Amino acid sequence: MKTALIFGSSGLVGKKLLSQVINNSNYSKIKIFVRSSPDISDRKIEMINTDFKDLEIIKNLITGDDCFFCIGTTKKNSPDKSEYRRVELDLPKKIAQISKSNNVKSFIFVSSGFADPKNSGDYLKFKGLVEEEIKSLNFEKIGILRPSFLLGKRKENRVGEKIGIFIFKLLSPIFVGPIKKMKPIHSEKVAKAMIKIANENIQKTIFESNEISDLVR
């Protein structure tokens, strides 16, 4: 039986992930690192109150088998450039580094389609830089998921994203060949794929959006 570590358990993917890990017999314990108490409770869950600006406090608690990282923000929620960088780049890199130093076996990261460390935009550049850091740490198992537009019920209202999703859903039938990775994907599928990658012998590291769907079909 394994211990799962979840960062981002209150987000769109994280909520689905947490409920699925609870029901997965491979895990006897789930450590969730949170700022406030979650809506869900279960005997498997160990809640660790976390100040994400000072990880040294909880460094020794980042121990277990599989670390799932799905924390993210937006420019709207983090308008300060340094704070945006901290959440999107510095935080996941630091969590990955601590996990490796504490002998966590696998690191499963929700990135983004078209992530690229050389991209001119901060979002895709930061995702790409985190991917590079994770790969350099040589975990026993690495899963980097690059979903396209994520479907599911969010806490906040993202009008621009809703419009984008609507358009992309309409265009989905013509997304074939190299652009099929642009099809929207449901957050539940991403969560299911994260668990599958951590628990099965899959000889692959990076999963584009369409490959995530194929994995859990």
**123 Cα distance to chain centroid:** 14
Helix, strand, or coil here: 45? Answer: strand
The tokens describing 134, both together, are: 């994770």
Q: What is the pLDDT of residue 121?
A: 93
What would the pLDDT profile of 33-61 be if each residue is shown by its tens digit?
A: 998 887 788 999 999 999 999 999 999 99
Fold of the domain spanning 2-150+185-211? Rossmann fold (3.40.50)
Q: What is the pLDDT of residue 156?
A: 56
Q: What is the pLDDT of residue 170?
A: 59
Residue ranges of the chain with per-residue pLDDT less than 70:
154-181
What Å distances lie between residue 76 and 61, 83, 89, 170, CA to CA?
31, 11, 17, 26
Q: What is the pLDDT of residue 4?
A: 98
**6 Cα distance to chain centroid:** 9
Q: What is the pLDDT of residue 12?
A: 93
Listed in order, strand segments (DSSP E) in 8-140 are: 27-34, 45-49, 66-69, 106-110
Domain residue limits, the chain = 2-150+185-211
Q: Quote the mean pLDDT of the chain.
A: 89
What would the pLDDT profile of 120-131 be if each residue is shown by its tens digit?
A: 999 999 999 999
Q: What is the pLDDT of residue 163?
A: 57
Q: What is the DSSP letter of 87?
A: I
What would the pLDDT profile of 175-186 be if each residue is shown by its tens digit?
A: 555 556 678 899
Q: What is the pLDDT of residue 149?
A: 84
Cα gap 182→169, rounded to integer Å: 10
Percent of the chain as helix, strand, coil, to the nearest 5: 45, 20, 35
